[in-house]
Structure 1
């Protein structure tokens, strides 16, 4: 629909959710608006519209809790297996969520680093070595962002690389969701049905209602731990200063296996997915800024008991799938995490354990399918389609880093027309 007004006519009303660019903001709105181009505008043209950085749609509440399926299992494991303090973990995740929402103006997620978390849980790294891992991975991400290396790398990559990694990650999340849902099949099935019924209802926070229903059913059936009797207090994180030996231990054990996964999933694929989901908005999300914000967050959080964390394409798909479109969703989940960390302390573990695995699995299933669909593998043909499917299969069978290393040479050959199939 054209936005141009003919002579003598009043200008058309702006599309839903936006207002004319340059419109004065309310005095209490301290955050700049997000510029938005209409469909008739060329990519380089100055945006005609803008939207508020924080939206008021009730579906933002649903989207805020859409990524708990990738958050809670890692956090529970870190607290129970290696003795991480809940206060430092929840506080750092919450503050990073608040910053990400305010800085980007989009539902950019904050997630535990998966490969590093797997090492932490299997090798039982002590909290000081985990802090060393956070410091080293944060420093490396900061260097890659400041020097512009990550941006140059992203520009050189064929489109099939991001699509293959995105498709594989989405299918892997969906499979993990099915596995978690099957922990209590009847409960997982009921939550999936409820999510299906609520997805089309724009006024209802589907993910939040589904989680509440899952918790209620888990309590009634006795398949979840009972609701804890909480006593609130003021809890502050303890300072952790690792020795050089512990920094090296964290670097070798956790940072080295994590860095390729972060650069592919948390940076390159997240930036690509953001451009797909928000093509008309002029936002700050790109490979360089994602590297910088993840690096700074880890450097600041590690000495206070923070867990290695980054952004992630799966988390973005989850937030978006359940209704998040603005900074409101990350602000909501960030405030919840800060409150849990500061006022619940060690009782935070008992609080998050009441969420049944089956309910988390249902959320993961839907967001994984959404992420896989967004890869749009059907836009590729012949050799390029083969590369996309191969990288997706390798991501599931091995991991995204291995898929990147093995698939990149084939992607380059396919792009140059030298891979004939």
Structure 2
């Protein structure tokens, strides 16, 4: 069907808006499991928690003007969920990480260290984190493949029409499938009369900080430069560290969950159509509305079928695994990428980083031996 030239700008605008609104909800596969567990098991209050994410996405819209993700900190979140930190300790740990990130962002050392990392190692870290997300997604979908497979089929249309409303359609289906008789969850602990264990706070900070620096700063900047080339001047390692630090320093003491800019979440937003500031504003409004509902919204979120959340998470993992740099890499860099990805998947981002750097040094040594004095690149 031919479209009149006069209508083409409107059509492009509507397609862009559809993609941004759909992509705004693309990272719920990462967000929902941690949020539900942090409130139900970690004793965090739903109002301040959702307001924290709303403020984070508004800051992203103003500062970066592209859909940079705002995610729960994974390692620290796991400690919170398993009862390792009380709500007061979570607040102190988040503020402490915020101070450290702001201090690092204030010096040029962070940017220099990030630029010194070989691209082969960064690509391997990105792929390894994608494998971790995909593995978790498979576990979530395995609980009911009859729901998971239609969800995957719907979301796979994003490969044909990247800016279609596929993630939004899945969320609407989840609303329809959620039972209507779910009861609100009660927080498991009071945030008013808890003591603070400095050793527990220190362990949580030490567990989280390396992961944040690698995934939410270095890899996140690399993913942003790949997906949004026009935003390269705005999205840097130092700015990502600074915005993460500011969010945690100001909002964690008020009851927000410790947050960072995850590479996987960015890939999820992009995969389902998010391209502009409209996407972070959309999810910010949704989080603000959720905060107004209090504990009632958690009961609804907990009722969403897990396989549907897993399907969203699976596509976030695939977007990271199949990054552009993976296909553009030189043949001799691909073993380094593979080793780094496997070490990240079976170990952690920190283990993957160390293994990748060692593998890259071995690659360079072999290149020098084969081509005496011939210049080589960073992979």
Q: Please state which band the TM-score falls in when normalised by the shorter chain.
A: 0.7 to 0.9
The structure with the largest alpha-carbon Rg is 1
Q: How many residues align?
A: 355
Q: 2:287 aligns with which of 337, 348, 368?
A: 337
Distance in 2, Cα, partners of 1:100 & 1:241:
34
Structure 1 unaligned residues grouped into runs of 5+: 1-15, 18-51, 220-224, 231-237
Partner residue, 2:133: 173
The alignment's TM-score, normalised by the length of structure 1, stands at 0.78
Q: Shift of the alpha carbon at 1:227?
A: 5.5
Distance in 1, Cα, partners of 2:84 & 2:297:
21
The alignment's TM-score, normalised by the length of structure 2, stands at 0.86
* Superposition map of 1:12-51 within 5 A: none
Distance 1:316 1:420, change over 3 A: farther
Distance 1:419 1:97, change over 3 A: farther
Q: Shift of the alpha carbon at 1:382?
A: 5.0
Q: Shift of the alpha carbon at 1:413?
A: 3.8
Partner residue, 2:312: 363
Secondary structure at the counterpart of residue 275 of structure 2? coil
Distance 1:162 1:130, change over 3 A: same
Partner residue, 1:277: 227
- Looking at both structures, which has the greater relative contact order when contacts are Cα pairs under 8 Å and sequence separation is at least 6? 2
Q: 1:141 aligns with which of 96, 101, 110?
A: 101
Secondary structure at the counterpart of residue 17 of structure 2? coil
Residue 254 (str. 1) matches residue 204 (str. 2): yes
Distance 1:141 1:198, change over 3 A: closer
Partner residue, 1:265: 215
Contact 1:61 1:324 in 2 (8 A): yes
Contact 2:44 2:191 in 1 (8 A): no
Residue 208 (str. 1) matches residue 148 (str. 2): no
* Superposition map of 1:184-199 within 5 A: 184-197=144-157, 199=159
Distance 1:375 1:140, change over 3 A: farther
Distance 1:140 1:418, change over 3 A: farther
Distance 1:250 1:95, change over 3 A: farther
Q: Shift of the alpha carbon at 1:85?
A: 0.6
Deviations 1:194-253 (A, max 9, x none): 22246534674110101212332x34xxxxx436589xxxxxxx997997x54x235322
Distance 1:126 1:188, change over 3 A: same
Distance 1:272 1:241, change over 3 A: farther
* Superposition map of 1:6-85 within 5 A: 57-85=17-45
Distance 1:333 1:419, change over 3 A: farther
Distance in 2, Cα, partners of 1:313 & 1:106:
13
Q: 1:288 aligns with which of 216, 225, 238?
A: 238
Distance in 2, Cα, partners of 1:409 & 1:326:
38
Partner residue, 1:32: none
Q: CA RMSD in A?
A: 2.6
More helix by share: 2
Q: Shift of the alpha carbon at 1:282?
A: 5.0
Distance 1:270 1:133, change over 3 A: same
**Runs of at least 4 residues off by over 6 Å:** 238-243
Partner residue, 2:375: none
Contact 1:170 1:370 in 2 (8 A): yes
Deviates more, 1:382-391 or 1:396-405: 382-391
Distance in 2, Cα, partners of 1:179 & 1:215:
22
